[in-house]
Amino acid sequence: MNDVLVVKDLQVHFILENTSVKAVDGVSFNVRKGENLALIGESGSGKSVLGMTILRLLPKNVRVNGKILFNGSNLLELPEEELRKIRGKEIALIPQNPATSLNPVLKIGIQIAEPMEVHLGIDKKIAIQKVINLLKFFDINPAEKRVNEYPHQFSGGMKQRALVAMGTSTKPKLIIADEPTKGVDVTKKLRVVELFRRIKENNKLSLLVITHDLLFAEKLADRIAVMYCGQIVEVCEAKTFFEEPLHPYSKALLDSLPSRGLKPIKGCSPSMVNPPQGCRFHPRCEYATSKCLEEPPLISNGNNNVRCWLYD
Amino acid sequence: MFKVIEIFRGIEIPKNNLCRIGLSVVLFIILLGSFAPLIAKDPYETNMAKRLESPSSEHFFGADQLGRDLFSRVIYGARTSLIVAITISAFSMGIGCLIGAVSGYFGGIIDDVIGRIIDVFLSIPEIVVNIALVGVFCTIYGSSTWNVILAVVFTNWVSYARITRGIVLSLKEREFIFCSKAIGAKSSWILFKHIIPNALGPIIVLATLNVGNIILTIASLGFLGLGIQPPTPEWGQLLNSGKNYIATAPWITFFPGLFIALSVFGFNLLGEGLRDILERRRIYE
């Protein structure tokens, strides 16, 4: 019972007219209490879809199989009304684009107060008082004035902090942050790390960070899950991942960092409509053998779990 | 209410000529109507001695076939027309926006059903339905101004519903709506707190243009003898009563006609001007 969230064999397929896009295909992982788990992978590997699936925020043409257990109940089977009580209260989602995620015609204060009004039934005036304290906590000063401003009066970084304030206002047990460093300067990335650290000082919560930014993940995460083409190929401690990654994809990903030689991975990421047979990475993998045409299971190797025949 | 004010904040009306002219004309007519008791004489007082008298310094617009002061009748007519037109516009806006927003937001079968109902309304000429309805209401409830209001609202809400539906369709894909769903807000919350305030700009433009159209509709009904009933002065009805004297006393038809044209012109210019301002703001955003 050390896990906040357990995802078991999750499949998310978008149904199109005559094909289906397998955005997430057989993903299992868990988020432990109080930990920071970073979900990393290239664009289009299904990370964000996975994040949205947890709160069931996907469009209607989607077929979801598997289990998402939160506090012992399967989120995929909960009635809509029950789920609504979890969204923003127990699990908060911090969206990708701070610039467009705030309503342009409403004051910031009113928007940050929304989760508190919706879930805790707090009166608007008291909620605004709490918002002022939150803004102070996240260095948006002078808070009394800022609370009555509109999103266009905020800078990009302030909008992001406002969204983080909104996410934490109800003291959720799990925060899913979707690409929190998207569009953030290299010089400001450490501030985002610090921002998330600061949230955790006061609340005992778990963090699921979805990112393609390896350096950011290295600074923040306790554990790393690597996603490739709709599957998780490796889950391990952050330290091991950056020192001795196991999966050939993880190795290739790290080698493509500027500090480690800037070597691009050859080939392109495969189509999600017809993913390669067997191991999804084998067409691009330098260790590929004929065995790779069969799909490898998630093999545990010490503390690490890796989906590769090399470690069988 | 303060959201409406917020939308208009920062708009400098004098910079837009259309808006400036339209607003002056509309304000002029509204002021005339509001201060009617101070400016005008009793519009009901008949004086057969002054029957069909031509315009003079005593009776600016002349007198009608019963010797009533036409200037007073036209100005009191502005009251009737504006109050009725704005009431109709407000009711239609309330009903139309709600139906359109629900249709656009929930989609699916609800949208299909509402969409077909709207199509049916659009396929019948409005004025015909209005005439028929006023007739029906009159036989059931007797004559009253509410007959006209209800009959016109019955066909008029459709344009609001269509516009609102369109705006909501594009708004509901915006990220802040997604964000609001992610914090667990109910559909009604999202609709009233996020979608409708964002849709207000184009709706206000439509409402302004719509008031002009409604003034015409009311006048048409009045001219046909189905609108607001005499002796309450109303422009369309004044036109009707003057039509038999058009050769001998053209002022009975001329002045009400002028005011109908002027007020429609004013509301249309104001609407166009507001559209220029609000659309430009939207593009800028």
Residues of A in contact with B106 (CB under 8 A): none
Q: Checking DSSP bridges between strand A3-15 and strand A62-70, what pairing results, if any? A: antiparallel
Q: Checking DSSP bridges between strand A91-94 and strand A304-306, what pairing results, if any? A: unpaired
Q: What is the pLDDT of residue A200?
A: 82
Label residue B252 by pLDDT band (50, 70, 90). Answer: confident
Q: Which residue has the tokens 């490739």?
A: A228
Helix, strand, coil in percent for chain A, rounding step 5: 35, 25, 40
- Is the Cβ pair A84, B186 closer than 8 Å? yes
Residues of B in contact with A172 (CB under 8 A): none
Neighbouring C-beta atoms of residue A242, cutoff 10 Å: 19
B49 in Cβ contact with B56 (< 8 Å): no
A271 in Cβ contact with A263 (< 8 Å): no
Residues of B in contact with A78 (CB under 8 A): none
Amino acid at site A37:
L
Q: Which helix (H) or strand (E) holds A131?
A: helix A124-137
Give dist(CA B121, CA A285) in Å, integer: 63
- Cis before A142? omega within 30: yes
SS3 A174: strand
Instruction: Give the minimum alpha-carbon distance from B11 to chain A in angstroms, rounded to a whole number.
Output: 15
Give dist(CA A291, CA A287) in Å, integer: 11
Superfamily name with CATH number, domain A3-80+205-311: P-loop containing nucleotide triphosphate hydrolases (3.40.50.300)
Q: What is the pLDDT along chain A (312 residues), one digit of tens a residue?
A: 588 899 999 999 999 888 888 888 888 888 988 889 999 988 888 888 898 899 998 888 889 999 999 888 899 988 988 899 899 889 999 988 888 899 988 899 999 999 999 898 888 889 999 999 989 988 888 888 999 999 999 988 888 889 988 988 888 999 999 888 877 777 778 888 888 888 887 777 899 999 988 888 888 899 999 999 888 999 988 888 888 888 999 988 888 888 888 888 888 888 888 888 888 888 888 888 888 888 888 888 777 888 888 887
Give dist(CA A166, CA A96) in Å, integer: 14
Residues of B in contact with A102 (CB under 8 A): 176, 179
Residues of A in contact with B181 (CB under 8 A): 57, 87
Q: B135 touching A, CB under 8 A?
A: no
Cα B243 from chain centroid (whole Å): 25
Residues of B in contact with A115 (CB under 8 A): 183-184
Q: What is the pLDDT of residue A92?
A: 92
Residue A231, strand partner residues: A228
- Is the Cβ pair A93, B182 closer than 8 Å? yes
Instruction: Give the minimum alpha-carbon distance from B160 to chain A in angstroms, rounded to a whole number.
Output: 21
- Is the Cβ pair A118, B175 closer than 8 Å? no
Instruction: Give the minimum alpha-carbon distance from B280 to chain A in angstroms, rounded to a whole number.
Output: 16
Nearest CB neighbour to B179, from listed A84, A101, A104:
A101
Label residue B159 by pLDDT band (50, 70, 90). Answer: very high
The crossing angle, in degrees rounded to 10, of helices B126-141 and B145-171 is 140
**ipTM value:** 0.85
- Is the Cβ pair A105, B198 closer than 8 Å? yes
Give dist(CA A88, CA B239) in Å, integer: 62
Domains of chain B with bracketed CATH: 2-47+61-284 (1.10.3720.10)
- Is the Cβ pair A100, B175 closer than 8 Å? yes
Neighbouring C-beta atoms of residue B115, cutoff 10 Å: 15
Q: What is the pLDDT of residue B87?
A: 94
- Is the Cβ pair A106, B194 closer than 8 Å? yes
Radius of gyration of the CA atoms of chain A, in A:
20
| Each residue's pLDDT tens digit, B30-85 | 998 888 888 777 777 777 777 777 777 777 787 777 778 888 888 888 888 899 99
Residues of A in contact with B7 (CB under 8 A): 105
Q: What is the mean pLDDT of residues B98-102?
A: 93
Alpha-helical segments (H) within chain B: 2-8, 17-34, 36-39, 70-106, 108-123, 126-141, 145-171, 175-182, 187-189, 196-223, 235-242, 251-284
Give dist(CA A190, CA A251) in Å, integer: 24
Q: Would you kindly state where each structural domain of chain A is located, as residue ranges?
A: 3-80+205-311
Instruction: Give the minimum alpha-carbon distance from B182 to chain A in angstroms, rounded to a whole number.
Output: 6
Residues of B in contact with A84 (CB under 8 A): 184, 186
- Is the Cβ pair B184, A86 closer than 8 Å? yes
Give dist(CA A214, CA A190) in Å, integer: 13
- Is the Cβ pair A118, B285 closer than 8 Å? no
Cα A244 from chain centroid (whole Å): 23
Residues of A in contact with B198 (CB under 8 A): 103-105
Q: Which residues of A touch B (CB under 8 A)?
A: 55, 57, 84-89, 92-93, 95-97, 100-106, 114-115, 118-119, 163, 166
Q: B41 touching A, CB under 8 A?
A: no
DSSP A41-100: --TTSSHHHHHHHHTT---SSEEEEEEEEETTEETTTS-HHHHHHHBTTTEEEE-S-TTT
- Is the Cβ pair A85, B184 closer than 8 Å? yes
Neighbouring C-beta atoms of residue A125, cutoff 10 Å: 8
Instruction: Give the minimum alpha-carbon distance from A241 to chain B in angstroms, rounded to a whole number.
Output: 31
pLDDT at B15 over 70: no
| Each residue's pLDDT tens digit, B43-58 | 777 777 777 777 777 7
Q: Look up the pTM and report it.
A: 0.80
- Is the Cβ pair B186, A105 closer than 8 Å? no
Q: Which residue has the tokens 């249309």?
A: B268
Q: Which of A48, A55, A105 to mutate to test the interface with B (most CBs of B within 10 A)?
A: A105
Pairs of residues, one from chain A and one from chain B, whose beta carbons lie less than 8 Å apart: 67
- Is the Cβ pair A103, B180 closer than 8 Å? yes
DSSP B128-141: HHHHHHHHHHHHHH
